[in-house]
Structure 1
Amino acid sequence: MTLSLPRRITHVLLDLDGTLTDSAPGIIASLRVGFADAGFDVPTDTVLRTFVGPPLGASMTGIGLSDADAALAIAAYRRDFEVHGMFDNSVVPGFPEALAELRAAGVTLLVATAKPEHYARQIVEHFGLDQYLEGGLDGVHGAAGEAAGLVEGKEVVVERAVAHALALGADVGQIVMVGDREHDVHAAAHHGVPTVGVTWGYAAPGELEAAGAVAIAATPAELRKLLTS
Protein backbone atom coordinates (compact mmCIF):
# COMPACT_ATOMS: atom_id res chain seq x y z
CA MET A 1 0.00 0.00 0.00
CA THR A 2 1.34 3.41 -1.02
CA LEU A 3 0.37 6.13 1.43
CA SER A 4 0.41 9.88 0.95
CA LEU A 5 -0.34 12.99 2.97
CA PRO A 6 -4.14 13.54 3.04
CA ARG A 7 -5.44 16.67 1.37
CA ARG A 8 -7.33 17.40 4.58
CA ILE A 9 -6.10 16.25 7.99
CA THR A 10 -8.62 16.19 10.83
CA HIS A 11 -6.98 13.91 13.44
CA VAL A 12 -3.31 13.61 14.39
CA LEU A 13 -1.72 10.85 16.47
CA LEU A 14 1.41 12.12 18.23
CA ASP A 15 4.30 9.98 19.40
CA LEU A 16 5.71 11.02 22.78
CA ASP A 17 9.41 10.15 23.24
CA GLY A 18 11.52 12.04 20.72
CA THR A 19 8.50 13.76 19.18
CA LEU A 20 6.72 15.74 21.88
CA THR A 21 9.53 15.50 24.42
CA ASP A 22 13.28 15.00 24.64
CA SER A 23 13.17 12.10 27.07
CA ALA A 24 16.56 10.54 26.26
CA PRO A 25 18.49 11.91 29.27
CA GLY A 26 16.25 10.28 31.88
CA ILE A 27 15.65 7.07 29.94
CA ILE A 28 19.34 6.50 29.22
CA ALA A 29 20.36 7.24 32.82
CA SER A 30 17.74 4.81 34.18
CA LEU A 31 18.72 2.17 31.62
CA ARG A 32 22.32 2.34 32.83
CA VAL A 33 21.14 1.79 36.40
CA GLY A 34 18.75 -0.95 35.33
CA PHE A 35 21.32 -3.01 33.44
CA ALA A 36 23.83 -2.68 36.28
CA ASP A 37 21.33 -3.51 39.02
CA ALA A 38 20.11 -6.55 37.09
CA GLY A 39 23.70 -7.80 36.77
CA PHE A 40 24.20 -7.24 33.04
CA ASP A 41 26.89 -5.37 31.14
CA VAL A 42 25.78 -1.81 30.48
CA PRO A 43 25.57 -1.05 26.73
CA THR A 44 27.17 2.07 25.33
CA ASP A 45 25.17 5.29 25.31
CA THR A 46 24.99 4.99 21.51
CA VAL A 47 23.18 1.67 21.88
CA LEU A 48 21.03 2.91 24.76
CA ARG A 49 19.90 5.88 22.66
CA THR A 50 18.34 3.44 20.19
CA PHE A 51 16.09 2.21 23.02
CA VAL A 52 14.30 5.57 23.18
CA GLY A 53 10.98 5.27 21.41
CA PRO A 54 10.52 1.62 20.38
CA PRO A 55 8.85 -0.90 22.71
CA LEU A 56 11.43 -1.59 25.42
CA GLY A 57 11.06 -5.37 25.32
CA ALA A 58 11.89 -5.41 21.60
CA SER A 59 15.00 -3.31 22.19
CA MET A 60 16.16 -5.61 25.00
CA THR A 61 15.74 -8.79 22.97
CA GLY A 62 17.26 -6.98 19.99
CA ILE A 63 20.62 -6.82 21.80
CA GLY A 64 20.48 -10.53 22.59
CA LEU A 65 18.76 -10.77 25.97
CA SER A 66 16.34 -13.64 26.51
CA ASP A 67 12.77 -12.73 27.42
CA ALA A 68 13.49 -13.65 31.04
CA ASP A 69 16.66 -11.53 31.21
CA ALA A 70 14.90 -8.67 29.42
CA ALA A 71 12.14 -8.78 32.03
CA LEU A 72 14.75 -8.51 34.82
CA ALA A 73 16.48 -5.56 33.17
CA ILE A 74 13.18 -3.80 32.47
CA ALA A 75 11.99 -4.23 36.06
CA ALA A 76 15.27 -2.77 37.38
CA TYR A 77 15.10 0.07 34.85
CA ARG A 78 11.56 0.96 35.89
CA ARG A 79 12.43 1.08 39.57
CA ASP A 80 14.93 3.85 38.82
CA PHE A 81 12.83 5.49 36.10
CA GLU A 82 9.84 5.98 38.39
CA VAL A 83 12.00 7.77 40.97
CA HIS A 84 14.60 9.59 38.87
CA GLY A 85 14.26 9.28 35.11
CA MET A 86 10.63 10.01 34.27
CA PHE A 87 10.82 13.78 34.55
CA ASP A 88 14.46 14.14 33.49
CA ASN A 89 12.76 15.18 30.30
CA SER A 90 11.72 18.35 28.47
CA VAL A 91 9.13 19.45 25.93
CA VAL A 92 10.53 20.12 22.46
CA PRO A 93 10.83 23.93 22.12
CA GLY A 94 8.04 25.41 20.04
CA PHE A 95 5.80 22.36 20.24
CA PRO A 96 3.19 23.75 22.68
CA GLU A 97 2.70 26.71 20.35
CA ALA A 98 2.33 24.36 17.37
CA LEU A 99 -0.19 22.24 19.28
CA ALA A 100 -2.22 25.32 20.18
CA GLU A 101 -2.24 26.41 16.54
CA LEU A 102 -3.31 22.95 15.38
CA ARG A 103 -6.18 22.95 17.89
CA ALA A 104 -7.20 26.43 16.75
CA ALA A 105 -7.25 25.13 13.17
CA GLY A 106 -9.71 22.41 14.20
CA VAL A 107 -7.29 19.47 14.27
CA THR A 108 -8.04 16.81 16.90
CA LEU A 109 -4.90 15.65 18.74
CA LEU A 110 -4.24 12.31 20.44
CA VAL A 111 -1.06 10.66 21.75
CA ALA A 112 0.03 7.18 20.63
CA THR A 113 3.20 5.98 22.37
CA ALA A 114 4.93 2.65 23.02
CA LYS A 115 5.64 3.89 26.57
CA PRO A 116 3.43 2.25 29.23
CA GLU A 117 0.26 4.29 29.40
CA HIS A 118 0.46 5.01 33.13
CA TYR A 119 3.89 6.62 32.59
CA ALA A 120 2.81 8.47 29.46
CA ARG A 121 -0.17 10.05 31.20
CA GLN A 122 1.96 11.23 34.12
CA ILE A 123 4.47 12.83 31.73
CA VAL A 124 1.81 14.48 29.56
CA GLU A 125 0.11 15.89 32.66
CA HIS A 126 3.41 17.01 34.24
CA PHE A 127 4.23 19.13 31.20
CA GLY A 128 0.68 20.44 30.74
CA LEU A 129 0.30 18.85 27.30
CA ASP A 130 -3.07 17.32 28.17
CA GLN A 131 -4.73 20.70 27.56
CA TYR A 132 -4.15 20.24 23.83
CA LEU A 133 -5.46 16.67 23.59
CA GLU A 134 -9.01 15.58 22.86
CA GLY A 135 -10.40 14.41 26.19
CA GLY A 136 -7.30 15.51 28.10
CA LEU A 137 -5.51 12.49 29.56
CA ASP A 138 -8.14 10.22 27.97
CA GLY A 139 -6.47 11.21 24.71
CA VAL A 140 -3.23 9.47 25.74
CA HIS A 141 -2.84 5.94 24.35
CA GLY A 142 0.14 3.93 25.54
CA ALA A 143 1.25 0.34 25.98
CA ALA A 144 -0.83 -1.81 28.29
CA GLY A 145 -1.32 -5.49 29.02
CA GLU A 146 2.15 -5.97 30.44
CA ALA A 147 3.34 -9.54 30.95
CA ALA A 148 6.70 -10.66 32.32
CA GLY A 149 7.94 -7.07 32.14
CA LEU A 150 7.36 -6.77 28.39
CA VAL A 151 4.75 -4.55 26.77
CA GLU A 152 2.66 -4.74 23.64
CA GLY A 153 4.00 -3.23 20.44
CA LYS A 154 3.28 0.09 18.79
CA GLU A 155 0.87 -1.39 16.25
CA VAL A 156 -1.56 -2.29 19.05
CA VAL A 157 -1.30 1.20 20.54
CA VAL A 158 -1.90 2.85 17.16
CA GLU A 159 -4.89 0.56 16.64
CA ARG A 160 -6.48 1.87 19.84
CA ALA A 161 -5.69 5.48 18.97
CA VAL A 162 -7.17 5.07 15.48
CA ALA A 163 -10.29 3.49 16.99
CA HIS A 164 -10.59 6.51 19.31
CA ALA A 165 -10.26 8.87 16.36
CA LEU A 166 -12.91 6.96 14.41
CA ALA A 167 -15.24 7.08 17.43
CA LEU A 168 -14.79 10.86 17.39
CA GLY A 169 -16.01 10.96 13.80
CA ALA A 170 -12.74 10.75 11.87
CA ASP A 171 -12.40 9.22 8.43
CA VAL A 172 -9.36 6.92 8.38
CA GLY A 173 -8.22 8.76 5.25
CA GLN A 174 -7.87 11.97 7.25
CA ILE A 175 -5.75 10.62 10.13
CA VAL A 176 -1.97 11.17 10.27
CA MET A 177 0.69 9.81 12.63
CA VAL A 178 3.59 12.04 13.71
CA GLY A 179 6.72 10.28 14.96
CA ASP A 180 10.49 10.23 15.03
CA ARG A 181 11.34 6.54 14.53
CA GLU A 182 10.74 3.87 11.90
CA HIS A 183 8.48 1.87 14.22
CA ASP A 184 6.05 4.81 14.25
CA VAL A 185 5.90 4.72 10.45
CA HIS A 186 5.49 0.94 10.23
CA ALA A 187 2.86 0.74 12.99
CA ALA A 188 0.75 3.50 11.44
CA ALA A 189 1.07 2.05 7.93
CA HIS A 190 -0.23 -1.27 9.25
CA HIS A 191 -3.52 0.54 9.86
CA GLY A 192 -3.50 2.53 6.62
CA VAL A 193 -2.32 5.74 8.30
CA PRO A 194 0.55 7.80 6.81
CA THR A 195 3.30 9.24 9.01
CA VAL A 196 4.97 12.63 9.02
CA GLY A 197 8.47 12.13 10.43
CA VAL A 198 10.23 14.69 12.62
CA THR A 199 13.98 15.19 12.49
CA TRP A 200 14.54 16.42 16.06
CA GLY A 201 14.04 12.96 17.57
CA TYR A 202 16.16 9.84 17.75
CA ALA A 203 16.10 8.39 14.23
CA ALA A 204 19.32 7.55 12.41
CA PRO A 205 19.97 9.57 9.24
CA GLY A 206 17.64 8.37 6.49
CA GLU A 207 15.67 6.06 8.84
CA LEU A 208 12.33 7.82 8.45
CA GLU A 209 12.59 8.14 4.69
CA ALA A 210 13.53 4.47 4.31
CA ALA A 211 10.60 3.44 6.50
CA GLY A 212 8.17 5.29 4.24
CA ALA A 213 7.37 8.57 6.01
CA VAL A 214 5.25 10.62 3.60
CA ALA A 215 6.80 13.94 4.67
CA ILE A 216 9.53 15.20 6.99
CA ALA A 217 9.37 18.21 9.33
CA ALA A 218 12.49 19.86 10.74
CA THR A 219 10.73 22.09 13.29
CA PRO A 220 7.39 22.12 15.12
CA ALA A 221 6.39 25.19 13.09
CA GLU A 222 7.13 23.32 9.86
CA LEU A 223 5.12 20.37 11.14
CA ARG A 224 2.14 22.60 11.87
CA LYS A 225 2.27 23.97 8.31
CA LEU A 226 2.42 20.47 6.83
CA LEU A 227 -0.61 19.38 8.84
CA THR A 228 -2.76 22.41 8.08
CA SER A 229 -1.80 23.40 4.52
Structure 2
Amino acid sequence: MTASPQHPLVLLDLDGTLMDSAPGILASVTHAYRTLGLPVPDAATLRSFVGPPITESFPSHGVPSEQVEEAIKLYRADFAETGMWDNSVFDGVPAQLERLRDAGCTLAVATSKPEVFARPITERFGLAPLVDAVFGAPLDEQGTKADVIAKALATLGRTPADGPALMVGDREHDVVGAREHGIDCLGVTWGYAAPGELEEAGAVAVLDDVDQLAEQVLRLLG
Protein backbone atom coordinates (compact mmCIF):
# COMPACT_ATOMS: atom_id res chain seq x y z
CA MET A 1 0.00 0.00 0.00
CA THR A 2 2.12 2.89 -1.25
CA ALA A 3 0.87 6.38 -2.08
CA SER A 4 2.16 7.75 -5.34
CA PRO A 5 4.79 10.40 -4.51
CA GLN A 6 3.18 12.98 -6.75
CA HIS A 7 -0.18 12.65 -5.03
CA PRO A 8 -0.85 15.04 -2.16
CA LEU A 9 -1.66 13.18 1.07
CA VAL A 10 -4.64 14.20 3.22
CA LEU A 11 -4.87 12.64 6.69
CA LEU A 12 -8.40 12.82 8.08
CA ASP A 13 -9.50 12.58 11.68
CA LEU A 14 -12.70 10.55 12.12
CA ASP A 15 -14.67 11.65 15.20
CA GLY A 16 -15.77 15.27 14.87
CA THR A 17 -14.23 15.69 11.41
CA LEU A 18 -15.89 13.13 9.16
CA MET A 19 -18.51 11.81 11.59
CA ASP A 20 -20.75 13.02 14.38
CA SER A 21 -19.89 10.24 16.79
CA ALA A 22 -20.66 12.12 20.01
CA PRO A 23 -24.07 10.52 20.78
CA GLY A 24 -22.72 6.98 20.95
CA ILE A 25 -19.44 7.85 22.67
CA LEU A 26 -21.12 9.96 25.34
CA ALA A 27 -23.79 7.34 25.98
CA SER A 28 -21.12 4.70 26.55
CA VAL A 29 -19.06 7.04 28.77
CA THR A 30 -22.16 7.84 30.82
CA HIS A 31 -22.90 4.10 31.14
CA ALA A 32 -19.43 3.53 32.59
CA TYR A 33 -19.75 6.29 35.21
CA ARG A 34 -23.22 5.18 36.29
CA THR A 35 -22.25 1.52 36.52
CA LEU A 36 -19.31 2.44 38.76
CA GLY A 37 -21.55 4.68 40.88
CA LEU A 38 -19.54 7.77 40.02
CA PRO A 39 -20.96 11.25 39.30
CA VAL A 40 -21.50 11.74 35.57
CA PRO A 41 -19.58 14.79 34.30
CA ASP A 42 -21.49 17.79 33.01
CA ALA A 43 -22.34 18.10 29.32
CA ALA A 44 -19.31 20.24 28.43
CA THR A 45 -16.91 17.81 30.10
CA LEU A 46 -18.56 14.82 28.46
CA ARG A 47 -18.16 16.47 25.07
CA SER A 48 -14.41 16.72 25.68
CA PHE A 49 -14.25 12.90 25.66
CA VAL A 50 -14.76 12.87 21.89
CA GLY A 51 -11.41 12.72 20.15
CA PRO A 52 -8.71 11.99 22.76
CA PRO A 53 -8.00 8.41 23.86
CA ILE A 54 -10.51 7.22 26.45
CA THR A 55 -7.55 6.02 28.53
CA GLU A 56 -6.61 9.68 29.06
CA SER A 57 -10.11 11.08 29.53
CA PHE A 58 -11.37 8.88 32.37
CA PRO A 59 -8.48 9.61 34.78
CA SER A 60 -8.67 13.30 33.87
CA HIS A 61 -12.35 13.54 34.78
CA GLY A 62 -13.01 12.05 38.16
CA VAL A 63 -12.39 8.32 37.77
CA PRO A 64 -10.08 7.15 40.60
CA SER A 65 -6.91 5.44 39.39
CA GLU A 66 -7.99 2.09 40.83
CA GLN A 67 -11.22 2.21 38.79
CA VAL A 68 -9.89 3.44 35.45
CA GLU A 69 -9.32 -0.05 34.07
CA GLU A 70 -12.87 -1.12 34.94
CA ALA A 71 -14.29 2.12 33.48
CA ILE A 72 -12.50 1.42 30.20
CA LYS A 73 -13.84 -2.14 30.11
CA LEU A 74 -17.40 -0.95 30.76
CA TYR A 75 -17.08 1.74 28.11
CA ARG A 76 -15.68 -0.57 25.45
CA ALA A 77 -18.27 -3.28 26.04
CA ASP A 78 -21.16 -0.82 25.75
CA PHE A 79 -19.55 0.96 22.79
CA ALA A 80 -18.97 -2.27 20.87
CA GLU A 81 -22.58 -3.35 21.42
CA THR A 82 -24.45 -0.11 20.74
CA GLY A 83 -22.44 3.12 21.00
CA MET A 84 -20.30 2.72 17.89
CA TRP A 85 -23.41 2.56 15.72
CA ASP A 86 -25.05 5.67 17.24
CA ASN A 87 -23.18 7.71 14.70
CA SER A 88 -23.63 9.63 11.44
CA VAL A 89 -21.52 11.16 8.68
CA PHE A 90 -21.61 14.95 8.69
CA ASP A 91 -23.73 16.33 5.85
CA GLY A 92 -21.61 17.16 2.82
CA VAL A 93 -18.54 15.13 3.81
CA PRO A 94 -18.88 12.39 1.13
CA ALA A 95 -19.07 14.95 -1.66
CA GLN A 96 -15.97 16.73 -0.33
CA LEU A 97 -14.01 13.49 -0.17
CA GLU A 98 -15.02 12.72 -3.74
CA ARG A 99 -13.77 16.15 -4.84
CA LEU A 100 -10.42 15.54 -3.17
CA ARG A 101 -10.04 12.13 -4.78
CA ASP A 102 -10.99 13.59 -8.16
CA ALA A 103 -8.23 16.17 -7.62
CA GLY A 104 -5.69 13.35 -7.21
CA CYS A 105 -5.30 13.33 -3.43
CA THR A 106 -4.53 10.20 -1.43
CA LEU A 107 -6.93 10.12 1.52
CA ALA A 108 -6.29 8.25 4.77
CA VAL A 109 -8.25 8.24 8.01
CA ALA A 110 -5.93 8.76 11.00
CA THR A 111 -7.89 8.48 14.25
CA SER A 112 -7.18 7.99 17.94
CA LYS A 113 -10.14 5.60 18.00
CA PRO A 114 -9.00 1.98 18.16
CA GLU A 115 -8.61 0.66 14.63
CA VAL A 116 -10.80 -2.35 15.45
CA PHE A 117 -13.68 0.12 15.82
CA ALA A 118 -12.66 2.64 13.14
CA ARG A 119 -12.58 0.16 10.27
CA PRO A 120 -16.11 -1.29 10.69
CA ILE A 121 -17.52 2.18 11.36
CA THR A 122 -16.11 3.58 8.11
CA GLU A 123 -17.45 0.54 6.29
CA ARG A 124 -20.94 0.64 7.85
CA PHE A 125 -21.40 4.35 7.15
CA GLY A 126 -20.10 4.34 3.58
CA LEU A 127 -16.79 6.14 4.06
CA ALA A 128 -14.49 3.20 3.32
CA PRO A 129 -14.89 3.42 -0.48
CA LEU A 130 -14.02 7.13 -0.35
CA VAL A 131 -10.63 6.77 1.38
CA ASP A 132 -7.51 4.81 0.54
CA ALA A 133 -6.75 3.53 4.04
CA VAL A 134 -7.89 3.65 7.68
CA PHE A 135 -5.40 3.91 10.55
CA GLY A 136 -6.27 3.93 14.23
CA ALA A 137 -4.89 3.29 17.67
CA PRO A 138 -4.32 -0.15 19.18
CA LEU A 139 -7.18 -1.42 21.35
CA ASP A 140 -5.37 -0.37 24.53
CA GLU A 141 -5.10 3.15 23.03
CA GLN A 142 -1.49 3.42 24.14
CA GLY A 143 0.39 6.12 22.28
CA THR A 144 -0.59 9.46 20.79
CA LYS A 145 -2.08 10.90 17.64
CA ALA A 146 1.48 11.34 16.42
CA ASP A 147 1.93 7.57 16.71
CA VAL A 148 -1.13 6.95 14.54
CA ILE A 149 0.18 9.40 11.96
CA ALA A 150 3.58 7.71 12.06
CA LYS A 151 1.92 4.38 11.32
CA ALA A 152 0.00 5.91 8.41
CA LEU A 153 3.09 7.50 6.90
CA ALA A 154 5.14 4.33 7.25
CA THR A 155 2.46 2.09 5.77
CA LEU A 156 1.85 4.47 2.89
CA GLY A 157 5.58 4.82 2.30
CA ARG A 158 5.53 8.58 2.72
CA THR A 159 8.37 10.90 3.71
CA PRO A 160 8.54 14.72 3.64
CA ALA A 161 10.24 14.46 0.24
CA ASP A 162 7.28 12.64 -1.29
CA GLY A 163 5.07 15.66 -1.82
CA PRO A 164 2.68 17.81 0.20
CA ALA A 165 0.67 16.46 3.12
CA LEU A 166 -2.02 17.93 5.37
CA MET A 167 -3.91 16.78 8.46
CA VAL A 168 -7.58 17.69 8.90
CA GLY A 169 -8.95 17.49 12.43
CA ASP A 170 -11.19 19.05 15.04
CA ARG A 171 -9.10 18.85 18.26
CA GLU A 172 -5.77 20.15 19.47
CA HIS A 173 -4.20 16.69 19.52
CA ASP A 174 -4.69 16.52 15.74
CA VAL A 175 -2.67 19.72 15.37
CA VAL A 176 0.04 18.63 17.80
CA GLY A 177 0.33 15.11 16.39
CA ALA A 178 0.67 16.36 12.82
CA ARG A 179 3.24 18.96 13.80
CA GLU A 180 5.51 16.24 15.22
CA HIS A 181 5.84 14.98 11.64
CA GLY A 182 6.25 18.41 10.07
CA ILE A 183 2.68 18.39 8.76
CA ASP A 184 0.27 21.33 9.00
CA CYS A 185 -3.25 20.78 10.31
CA LEU A 186 -6.44 22.36 9.03
CA GLY A 187 -8.83 22.68 11.96
CA VAL A 188 -12.58 22.27 11.50
CA THR A 189 -15.15 23.79 13.85
CA TRP A 190 -18.10 21.44 13.25
CA GLY A 191 -16.49 18.96 15.64
CA TYR A 192 -15.83 19.07 19.37
CA ALA A 193 -13.10 21.62 20.02
CA ALA A 194 -13.59 24.26 22.69
CA PRO A 195 -13.66 27.85 21.41
CA GLY A 196 -10.15 28.92 20.44
CA GLU A 197 -8.67 25.45 20.99
CA LEU A 198 -7.55 24.92 17.40
CA GLU A 199 -6.12 28.39 16.99
CA GLU A 200 -4.18 28.12 20.26
CA ALA A 201 -2.79 24.74 19.21
CA GLY A 202 -1.44 26.28 16.00
CA ALA A 203 -3.79 25.08 13.26
CA VAL A 204 -2.64 26.51 9.93
CA ALA A 205 -6.25 27.58 9.26
CA VAL A 206 -9.67 26.97 10.80
CA LEU A 207 -12.70 26.14 8.67
CA ASP A 208 -16.37 26.58 9.60
CA ASP A 209 -18.14 25.20 6.50
CA VAL A 210 -18.05 21.55 5.41
CA ASP A 211 -18.89 22.58 1.86
CA GLN A 212 -15.60 24.48 1.61
CA LEU A 213 -13.44 21.61 2.86
CA ALA A 214 -12.04 20.37 -0.44
CA GLU A 215 -11.37 23.88 -1.70
CA GLN A 216 -9.49 24.84 1.46
CA VAL A 217 -7.49 21.60 1.58
CA LEU A 218 -6.38 22.00 -2.03
CA ARG A 219 -5.43 25.62 -1.42
CA LEU A 220 -3.29 24.69 1.58
CA LEU A 221 -1.64 21.86 -0.31
CA GLY A 222 -0.65 24.35 -2.96
- Under a length normalisation based on structure 2, what TM-score does the superposition of the two structures give? 0.90
Structure 1: which 4+ aligned runs deviate by more than 3 Å? Answer: 64-68, 168-173
Match of 1:151 in 2: 142
State the distance in 1 between where 2:161 and 2:107 align.
14
Shift of 1:41: 2.1
Residue identity over aligned pairs, in percent, reads 48
State the distance in 2 between where 1:76 and 1:131 align.
32
Match of 1:161 in 2: 152
**Is residue 86 of structure 2 the alignment partner of residue 92 of structure 1?**
no
Structure 1 residues 87-166: aligned runs within 5 Å: 87-134=85-132, 139-144=133-138, 146=140, 150-165=141-156
Shift of 1:62: 1.6
Cα gap change, 1:173 to 1:211, in 2 (>3 Å): farther
State the distance in 1 between where 2:137 and 2:36 align.
23
**Is residue 183 of structure 2 the alignment partner of residue 185 of structure 1?**
no
Match of 2:9 in 1: 11
State the distance in 2 between where 1:77 and 1:106 align.
39
State the distance in 1 between where 2:99 and 2:129 align.
13
Cα gap change, 1:44 to 1:60, in 2 (>3 Å): same
Q: Deviations over 1:109-134 (max 9, x none)?
A: 00100000000001100111111111
Could you tell me which of 59, 80, 100 is aligned with 2:78? 80
State the distance in 1 between where 2:162 and 2:139 align.
25
What letter corresponds to residue 106 of structure 1 in structure 2? Answer: G
- Under a length normalisation based on structure 1, what TM-score does the superposition of the two structures give? 0.87
Matched residue count: 214
What letter corresponds to residue 35 of structure 2 in structure 1? Answer: D
State the distance in 1 between where 2:198 and 2:159 align.
29
Match of 2:41 in 1: 43
**Do 1:11 and 1:170's aligned partners in 2 also have CA atoms closer than 8 Å?**
no
**Do 1:26 and 1:86's aligned partners in 2 also have CA atoms closer than 8 Å?**
yes
State the distance in 1 between where 2:179 and 2:103 align.
25
Aligned-residue CA RMSD in angstroms? 1.8
Describe the SS at the equivalent of 1:18. coil
What letter corresponds to residue 147 of structure 2 in structure 1? Answer: V
Match of 1:200 in 2: 190
State the distance in 1 between where 2:91 and 2:160 align.
29
State the distance in 1 between where 2:35 and 2:9 align.
42
Query: Which blocks of at least 5 consecutive residues in structure 2 are unaligned?
Result: 1-5
Cα gap change, 1:67 to 1:155, in 2 (>3 Å): farther
